Amino acid sequence: MKIRKKRFKPFFAVVLFVVVLTGAFFGFQFFTKTGIFKVPGIVYYDDSLNEAELDTLKSIFTEEIELDKDVHISAYNNDVKPELSKGEILYDILVPVTDFYAVGTDVKEFPEEAVQMIPISELSYDKKLLSMNDKYYLDEIDSGASFRVIKFDSEKFDEEIKPLLTEEFSKTFPTKDSVLTFAQTGVTALSRGMNTKMRQVGDGKYFSEKIAGFLSSFDLTHTSNESSFTDAANGDNICSDNRFIDTLTSIGLDIVELTGNHNEDCGDEAARNSIDIYNQNNIKIVGGGKTDEEAAIPLLINEKGSNITFLAYNLSTGGATYDATPGANQYYEENATKEITAAKERGNFVVVDIQYYECSAYASEYEDPTCDRANSAAGDQVGFFRHLIDLGADMVVGTSAHQPQTFELYGNGVIYYGLGNLFFDQIWWPGTTRSLVLAHYLYNGKLLQTKIVPTIYDASMQTKLLDEETSKWFLERLIKVRP
């Protein structure tokens, strides 16, 4: 009798193969934590994150988001702009500010409660930016602030994390190439006693050598020059020795304002020739010209992403042109209203300079604060300057005062009633030897800040920066009498 051997049916062989393969497949997933056994990546939030940052991050990494790998998120601050590693993002720049009218300039001069750290996006002209660690952020850009960095520690930062990050993590910040720096100065009258001094020293750069480095460091530098160049200049007239052009070019002068009431003292020919000299040296002109039509042309500035309309008018005791002769741009209410309105419609930042009636308090050699208040027997200086802000100007600056005057925030703008003498021969009264330089910083058309920097000259007729202690005393004096 034959015994038949049992054989596995092919069906059972296939089943066994599938079972083994399936077991291996799921076993692999189980031990490697992949597939159905995969544990989603976890987001870990470090205690270094503040509440606002946590809210932003949690709005991104919601329950619907499944990550392949864990991510650890933390934050830190740096006093200088850091070199970022992979997974690090510069989240914000925090700058120290205090009250606009505060006199101090550095964080360490104030109690902790008087200083706020605000995002750079919130910085505006009505707050006072302070230096930090002796660094002024808008001058340095890479220091003088607290740089907030958020770090994403993940094996798949580029593939998983980066695509999820919102515009909060792709902000743009000010750079040297995007912040427009603009120095406005007061009265320049390179004349009379300065002509006598010029004959002694023979070099226009002598008068500016102590201030040239500072003023030429700005993208734009302005002054209001009241005297014209001529060979007839002497120690008694308000006319300028031709060599004084070197004084102006050495400070990096970009804009000369011709609203003064003395540019015609030397005659029409000298005034015209002076305009030619400015043009030859690539110095832009505002508030004056060879004719009344030319004098009335606004100066349009379009640099580093900021658009400025610069208007300048003469409302003084003379010097204006009404026809085809050279002179200053006469103020007319109708013209000013139209020009300011048109500039605002263009979306420009509007600066209005005014050669106003002078306030004179030169009767003694001691400190006379009469003109600090922006008073003038000839009219309502405060009311008129405020009116220009009401018309839409963002900033109004007085360029006739031979002594610095007070300043204030008003309406939607800021007013500097008088800047004093940058260069002149008035050495007999303390008030006339000082001036205020307005160091403006604009970013994307917005005025971030104006830093006020006092200057002084003496019998040497060399203008220099006023020392820190005296600057604080003087600015406090002006602030106390603001309207």
Confidence of residue 13 (pLDDT cuts 50, 70, 90): low
Residue 32: phi, psi to the nearest 5?
-100, 0
Q: Which residue has the higher pLDDT, 360 or 356?
A: 356
Confidence of residue 33 (pLDDT cuts 50, 70, 90): very low
Which pLDDT value is given to residue 181?
98
pLDDT in tens, 245-265: 999 999 999 999 999 999 999
- What the block records as the tokens of 424 is 């002149």
427 Cβ neighbours under 8 A, 6+ residues apart: 193, 433, 457, 458, 459, 461
DSSP state letter for 240: B
pLDDT in tens, 413-424: 999 999 999 999
DSSP state letter for 52: H
The Cα–Cα gap between 393 and 285 comes to 20
Which pLDDT value is given to residue 316?
86
Task: Give the number of other Cβ atoms within 10 Å of residue 150's Cβ.
Answer: 23
Confidence of residue 214 (pLDDT cuts 50, 70, 90): very high
The Cα–Cα gap between 375 and 385 comes to 12
Look at residue 31 and tell me whether its pLDDT is greater than 60.
no
Which pLDDT value is given to residue 366?
84
Look at residue 102 and tell me whether its pLDDT is greater than 50.
yes
258 in Cβ contact with 245 (< 8 Å): no
Angle (CA) 246-250-255 rounded to 5° is 95
3-state secondary structure of 286: strand
Which pLDDT value is given to residue 39?
52
Closest CA to 129 of 79, 95, 171, 86: 95
Q: Which residue has the higher pLDDT, 33 or 296?
A: 296
3-state secondary structure of 388: helix
pLDDT in tens, 451-466: 999 999 999 999 999 9
Four-point Cα dihedral 30, 36, 38, 39, nearest 10: -120
DSSP string, 335-358: HHHHHHHHHHHTT-EEEEEEE-PP
**Whole-prediction pTM value?**
0.91
- Across residues 430-446, what is the average pLDDT? 97
Please state which of the ranges 60-74, 98-112, 362-376 shows the lowest mean pLDDT. Answer: 362-376
Task: Give the number of other Cβ atoms within 10 Å of residue 221's Cβ.
Answer: 23
